[in-house]
Structures are given as structure tokens and as C-alpha cells.
Structure 1
């Protein structure tokens, strides 16, 4: 498939940074794939633990593994470095603390060739490390927003009702290398780089499909970059703006403006509350500065936003400093809490009333059912009596004697 000649079927790019405890499980899941015609490009992003030693150990035993060393530049830079060195028809990304099912490459390669695709989506299982349990139901990783109607059929972004509910993770897609080259796709150097990369490609792809198999195992750990609430969260503002830029570049901003702004503002608020307390004021300052470029759009669309967004950004606009913002936000948080409590109590009361009404209705139906049962029993008794009477008549001597007179003339 494709116009170029490639040496292997799939290139698997694995950026590695200080994942010594998990790296062997990751590599074992890759080198033992049922499809052997693969290459494994491991980009060591300046690891300071024993990750490089593990890579070298595996590379000495399996010539499909290639190691690229670089200074610590981040995952996006490492993935780009890997992309420069691919020799496969298709590209798969695997994070070095995750692992894939052993038939992943074989199954995906078969499907992507069968449908001649630019991108193939597949599902994932979450492994929650602290609880040592698997979560097979996480909606984002199972593309539940697509409702199953796209399984094994070809589609584009135009067919998807809400493309902002589709999982953006680069690791949950198989990419056609020719398509990547033609699109000149690159990850940005900041964190949350998957967002930009996904929308950049999805808006260009002409043939996309999805399989429902959970081929990927995503490890959820508290110390990961996107879970820890550290300085990486600062990049979420940049990442949100990069998504908007992609839509502007494709002439789609006006069409998706409301959804884009919702996504941006929701993300900003979520990261503000998730970032470490020591970084909150700095993050607030960046939000305040960033909002200058979006106030016009905010004013145009705010009537359609949830009150949480409106309250937060109204406080952001009117606050002269962080202390003033926190004081206003605290008052609003209490007000929101009271509103939510009031709504909950109202809904709870309404729910109880409905339950009571249904119980009463159910009781009436049960009584009606019992009456019908009695009537049914009586009717059955009458039917049985009539059947018996009929049999008695048919077997009677008088019936037999009069038989000749009942014949048709």
C-alpha cells in the first residue's frame, strides 16, 4: 500500500524518559508481537535512571530495536525525532510505561490495508496502578462518543457530530506513513502535544476507521506529567490555543467556534483547579493575559456557556489581582455549592415524588392484574365446562342417532 517503498510493515515509536520500572513490560509486549515485520524506534529523552541500559540490553538481543539518544526535550520532540527515522508503511506510538496486546500489529495492519486508510482508531484499557485494577469502560478510550456507528466503516471528521469528544491520544491510532509525510505532521514541543497532532491530522484525513478492540493498555499513575499538577499544566493554555489555530488554518473556526471556546475555557478552568497551589497565581496571570485575545469571542458566545465558565471568567475580567480573584471565586464557589445543593434537593424531591407516583401506579396495576387473573380463571373454568359439555354432547347416544338427519342434503 502507498506510493513509497518501505522496509517493514509497522514502525513503533517509543519515547523513553525515566520509566525503568515499566520499560521491560512495554518492550516485551512489542518484540513479541505476532506480526514480526516491525521496527522499534526507542528515543531516549535524556533519562537519568537505568532506562538506557534496559534499551541497550534489548537492542543487543533484537536487531529490530533502534535507539536514538537526545537531550531531555520532552515527549513531542522525542516523537518527532522518531518520525524522522521511520522505515515502516505505518506508524504506531507506544508510551514507555504502557503496553500493547500481542496481536495488536497483526490485527491493525490487516484492517488498515483492507480499508486503505489514512488513520485507524482503536480502543484502550486503563490500568489504575495504585489500585491494581483494570478499567475497561472509560468512555474516551473506547470512543463511546461515536456510539458504535463508525465501527469498521470509513468516515471523516465531517461525519462526527462532536469531534471534541473523540480521544486525542496519539497512541490509540495507527497512521499511514505516506499520509503523515504528505501532511507534514509534527508534534509541538509543549506538553499536551497529542491535542494539536490529532486535530491537525483528523481534519486532513480522507479515510478514517475504528475497531472496537482494546489493543492498548494505558497505565494511570499519580506521578505522570498530566496527572501530577506540576509545571507542565502551564502548557495547557498554549495547547488550547494550538487547537484553535488548527481550525483557523483549515477555515473551520467559525463553524466550530462555540465548541472550540467551550473546550478551551473548560480546559483552562480544569487545569487551574488541578495545578499545584504553589503555581496557581502564575497560572492565573497567564490566563488573564491570554484572555485578552479571546474576550471578543467570549462576549459573542458567553450566553451559551455553562454558568461555571461565565462566573469564572467574569471574576477573571474584573479582578485586579490574584488575591481579589480568589476572594470573588470563593464567594461564587459557595454560591455555586448552594445552588447545586438546592438543585439536588429539588431533583431528589422530584425523583421521590415520581417514585411514589410510580409505586402507586404499580400498586393499582398489581390490583388490576389480580382482578384480570381472577377473571381469566373464571373464563378458563367456563371454557373447560363448555368443552366438557361439548364432549358430552358429541358422545351422547342422541347425537349419534340424529347424525343422519344432520347430513347436508
Structure 2
């Protein structure tokens, strides 16, 4: 497939010189000098050549500007933009204003993609004319279970974005700016494709924006009511409360509950606030319209049923112990599997299930 991608794909989808590129890759940048060169290289080296690369420098104080300018000097496909430090949402939105590609891909400045990443995904769009393509095996498996994805897991039709020009990254919101953005897109279309083959190399390090932001629990707690206000306005303006209530329930379970309440180091007063906030929104706007067959997880339902966060935390502590006991027991039983390769796969599946 790689040979077919590099030799035939660009011919198959060939456009005349001067026509729009197939994909616009938008990369917001803030103090990313350590990894930025490698990130840009991975996009420049794509087997899909007819692309543009939009670098948006969000007021970096390091050498990111110099790296961008040097790359742009040697590659006519690169568009370099500068702005004062206004945040990742404005950087992405400004990049989108300059984009001319048929499809849009938002990438982080410290990650890399395999050389066939865009060619595999773009081929799917040409076969199915999708509004959105979900990328990566992990996210494709969760497509029916989660109502929001990171933007680096999505290739988005530019026409689809033009037709919904009110759906943009919410200014002043981080984290969850990409979750709110993708959630809205998924609510507005069923024309969603899947590409489990392409691999995005997500780099974990201490200076990542989301790591720094999530450490500031007070800031996150202050922003979550704004998420709910954004959702309320979107669902009201688009008349979606009746038709997409399960979609909204999945978002509430995934973002403020799983990602924030369960995983962030909130203190007791913050937990109390968030528990009451989520319960109120769910009981006021979601649960009255949610059908019995539109399920939410057992843990989230228990969270909503508990009178206070102490009650839920006690339950959840016991639940985690039970899950760990099950995991260890299944790993022990897997030792009887004679084939090592199959045994390893089974253990990986067990660890993933009980992660």
C-alpha cells in the first residue's frame, strides 16, 4: 500500500497546478521548539504531496518562530502566521481562515504522524465523501461510545465546516475546546468514516499544555460551567435536545465526569461543586428526555444517583478494587494459553478492558 500511496495516489487524485490542495494541516504552536522541527518534518514527508501546512505561532517566547520561518523558506506549501498569545482555540480558528484545502486536519506541535497518515485517510474520503473521518484504531473502536474526540483524531471536510461556520473552537476555553468542537460536528452529521490504519504518535512530556492546565484544578472548575452554557446554546439553536439527547449524555459522561471528576486531583470543595453541577444539568436538561435503551454507564448513573460526592467516592473506591481483582485473576488464568503470541494478545485485551 505504501508503494501505491507514494507512486499512484497523487496521480489518482491529481489537480492542476494552482488548484486547491487536498488537505490543509493546521498546527497551533506555543513554545514548542524542542519538538517542532520533527513535527513539521513528519508532515512535509507525507506521501500525499498536495497539501498545505499552516503554522500558527501563538506568541511563542522560544525559538519556534525561527524554526517556522526556516521551514517556510524551503517549502512553498508552508503558510506561516503569527498572533499574540491568545490561546489554542484562536490559533486554530485563525489557521482555518487561511486554509484552502478540501479537507482540514488539526495537529499538535509536539507530535508526529506516519508518512502514509494523510494518504490513507484522504483515500477514504474520496471513496465515501465523508464529512468527518475518525483516525486511529483506538478511536474507531470508541466511535459509538464517545461523543467527543481530540481534533488530531479527525479529518474534516472543509465544505462541511463552511456550511456550519458557527461551529468553531470556543475562545478562552482550554481544556475541552477540541471536545466541544468535535461534539458539535458529530451532532450535525451521520456521514462519518473510519480509518483505523493510520498512526498518530502522541508525545507525552511534562510541558504539554493539557498537563499544565489540568494541574490548575481551579481554572478547570471555573471553565466547566462555560462548557454547559456552550452546549445549552448549541442544542437550543439547532433544536437537538429531543433528537440528540443520548449524544449529549455521552459527552457529559466522557468529558466532565470521566476526564475531569474521575481523573483530576480536585479537593473536596471542588468535587462537591462539580458533582452538584453535573447532576443539575443532567436532571434538568438530559435525563427527562433520555430513553431507557439509550444507556449511560453504571458508574455514571451511580454518580447521578448519589446524594453527595462522599457517597460516590466510597462506591468508586470499592469498584476499582473489584476491577483490579478481576484483572489479576484473568491475567493469572491466561497463563494456561499455550501459544505465546495469542497469550500476549489476550493479556493486552484484559489490561485494556480494566485500565
**Fold conserved (TM > 0.5)?**
yes
Whether 2:146 is the aligned partner of 1:165: answer yes
Question: What is the 5 A alignment of 1:140-151?
Answer: 141=139, 143-146=140-143
Whether 2:248 is the aligned partner of 1:254: answer no
Question: What is the 5 A alignment of 1:182-261?
Answer: 182-184=163-165, 185-189=167-171, 190-191=173-174, 192-205=176-189, 207-228=191-212, 229-231=214-216, 233-234=220-221, 235-239=223-227, 242-243=230-231, 245-257=233-245, 260-261=248-249
- The 1:209–1:296 alpha-carbon spacing in structure 2 relative to 1, beyond 3 Å, is closer
Shift of 1:25: 1.0
Aligned to 1:103: 116
1:330-375 Cα distance to aligned partner (Å, 9 max, x none): x664465457768998x89xx99xx9xxxxxxxxxxxxxxxxxxxx
Residue 13 of structure 1: SS of its match in structure 2? Answer: strand
Aligned to 2:339: none
Q: Contact 1:266/1:309 (CA < 8 Å) preserved in 2?
A: no
Residue 53 of structure 1: SS of its match in structure 2? Answer: helix
1:297-352 Cα distance to aligned partner (Å, 9 max, x none): 57757x98746654577445xxxxxxxx7xxx1x664465457768998x89xx99
Q: Contact 1:6/1:89 (CA < 8 Å) preserved in 2?
A: no
After superposing the two structures, state which structure 1 stretch, 306-315 or 263-272, moved more: 306-315
Structure 2: stretches of 5+ with no match in the other structure: 1-12, 334-355
Q: Contact 2:26/2:104 (CA < 8 Å) preserved in 1?
A: yes
Shift of 1:14: 0.5
Shift of 1:276: 4.3
Residue 8 of structure 1: SS of its match in structure 2? Answer: coil
Shift of 1:170: 1.5
* In 1, Cα distance between equivalents of 2:35 and 2:105: 19
1:272 corresponds, among 219, 239, 261, to 261
Aligned to 1:368: none
* In 2, Cα distance between equivalents of 1:283 and 1:338: 18
* In 1, Cα distance between equivalents of 2:274 and 2:316: 25
Aligned to 2:6: none
Residue 175 of structure 1: SS of its match in structure 2? Answer: strand
- The 1:256–1:182 alpha-carbon spacing in structure 2 relative to 1, beyond 3 Å, is closer
* In 2, Cα distance between equivalents of 1:167 and 1:298: 17
Question: What is the 5 A alignment of 1:171-186?
Answer: 171-184=152-165, 185-186=167-168
Residue 82 of structure 2: SS of its match in structure 1? Answer: strand
Please, what TM-score do these two structures have when normalized by structure 2? Answer: 0.70
Shift of 1:213: 1.1
Residue 197 of structure 2: SS of its match in structure 1? Answer: strand
1:103-159 Cα distance to aligned partner (Å, 9 max, x none): 2233333332233332222216xxxxxxxxxxxxxx3x3x1135xxxxxxxxxxxxx
Shift of 1:55: 0.9
- The 1:230–1:312 alpha-carbon spacing in structure 2 relative to 1, beyond 3 Å, is farther
Higher Cα Rg, which structure? 1
2:73 corresponds, among 32, 57, 60, to 60
Aligned to 1:386: none
1:227-279 Cα distance to aligned partner (Å, 9 max, x none): 452235333443355345544443332344356346425643441354345x7
* In 2, Cα distance between equivalents of 1:298 and 1:118: 27
Q: Contact 2:116/2:198 (CA < 8 Å) preserved in 1?
A: no
* In 2, Cα distance between equivalents of 1:225 and 1:280: 25
Whether 2:82 is the aligned partner of 1:94: answer no
